Structure 1
Amino acid sequence: MIVGAGYSATNSGPGNTPAEPGTVWLYITGPLVIRRGPAVITPDRPGPSVNTLTNDHSVLVERTYVVATTCTVHVQV
Structure 2
Amino acid sequence: MNARNMALPAGKRCADCGLLRAGDADGLCPHCRLRRMLRNGLRHVDDNYAATWVMLATIASALLLTLLLGGGISQNGLV
**TM-score normalised over the length of structure 1:** 0.28
Higher RCO structure (Cα 8 Å, ≥6 apart): 1
Answer 1 or 2: which has greater helix percent: 2
Larger radius of gyration: 2
